Amino acid sequence: MPGISVIVLTKNEEQDLPGCLRSLAWSDDIVVYDSMSDDRTVEIAKQFGARVIQRPFDNWSAHQNWGLKHIDFRNPWVYYSDADERVTPELASAMQRAVADAGDNVAFRVRRRDHFMGSWLRHVAPSPFNIRLFRPERIRYERLCNPVTLVDGPTGDIGAHFDHYPFSKGITHWYDKHNRYSSFEAEQILLNRANGRQFSIWRAFFDGDRNERRFHQKELYYRLPFRPVVMFLLLYFFRGGILDGRAGLTFSLLRAFYEYMIVLKVREAQCKPKVKEEAVLEGTTEQV
């Protein structure tokens, strides 16, 4: 049966990494791809027998693309994991069966279970499928944050789950992390507009290329008025977050707040040149 290598992205993950690595013990090649941690992350990785490769983090797509291009994996297939995730025994077995009978597929989507406040967010989680198992030479990433996975070839689905614990370090850590993420998202929005790439509503729904559809869908979403409110309504009512109880309500509100941070940062960046220009004019007037 073909082996599967694993890449785990880390930055100061001494709390979550042990549990993650225990769930990956089925792999004979675990690579901890670390962004210059200054806690015990590297020490813990080595204790579990993982290889450690370090590189300063710049942005998500550049960092991940560098890893897939330069890391020498021992197996033809690679599974991608974050430290706050756990691979279930069912998923490990399902992935091994999948690569043994991959056919033309060069990647597989895997189901995700998000956990919050002691429960599985069964309804409100926005992306139940993620491309996590792939041939590394057939994958690349785009976008500064929450990167889009581009696959050069057919993609299959695996029904088994991995478990994701995005709040394992507490709400404060979630806020800090999403404050950084929102800055990347705002930068990406402004970069897309500066590049002058044309947006098409038709392509958002009918383009034959799935990646092109996703790009135009994101652009459509970023142009929606009252986007934070739309996000809350979408998650809580249309996706059924109301059925996830208090956890569903809290998660929906947090996601809406995250969207509002992006809106505010885009607005702030767009106002900066005007503020600088006004300051220059005021300074000129004072000197006259």
List, for residues 12-45, the tens digit of each pLDDT value. Answer: 999 999 999 999 999 999 999 999 999 999 999 9
List, for residues 245-264, the tens digit of each pLDDT value. Answer: 999 999 999 999 999 999 99
85 with 160, same domain: the answer is: yes
Residue that terminates a domain, selected from 132, 164, 196: 164
CATH code (residue 107): 3.90.550.10
56 with 136, same domain: the answer is: yes
158 with 227, same domain: the answer is: no
152 with 232, same domain: the answer is: no
Residue that terminates a domain, selected from 115, 143, 164: 164
Measured distance CA(268)–CA(225) in Å, rounded: 17
Residue 280 has pLDDT above 50, yes or no: no
Measured distance CA(263)–CA(265) in Å, rounded: 6
Length of the chain: 288
23 with 156, same domain: the answer is: yes
148 with 205, same domain: the answer is: no
155 with 266, same domain: the answer is: no
136 with 233, same domain: the answer is: no
254 with 276, same domain: the answer is: yes
Residue holding tokens 């005007």? 274
Nearest-10 crossing angle of helices 245-287, 171-195:
50
103 with 54, same domain: the answer is: yes
Measured distance CA(251)–CA(171) in Å, rounded: 11
pLDDT band at 197 (very low <50, low <70, confident <90, very high): low
18 with 69, same domain: the answer is: yes
Amino acid 246 reads R
Higher pLDDT pick, 192 / 237? 237
DSSP one-letter code for 235: I
DSSP output for 107-131: EEEEEEEEEETTEE-TTT-S--EEE
pTM of the model: 0.85
Element (H, E) at 9: strand 4-10
Higher pLDDT pick, 209 / 268? 268
Residue 150 CB neighbours (<10 A): 17
Residue holding tokens 């005021």? 282
Residue that terminates a domain, selected from 114, 135, 164: 164
Residue 283 has pLDDT above 60, yes or no: no
- The closest alpha carbon to 54, from 74, 37, 68, belongs to 37
pLDDT band at 217 (very low <50, low <70, confident <90, very high): confident
Indicate the number of domains in the chain: 2
238 with 265, same domain: the answer is: yes
Whole domain around residue 136: which residue ranges? 4-164
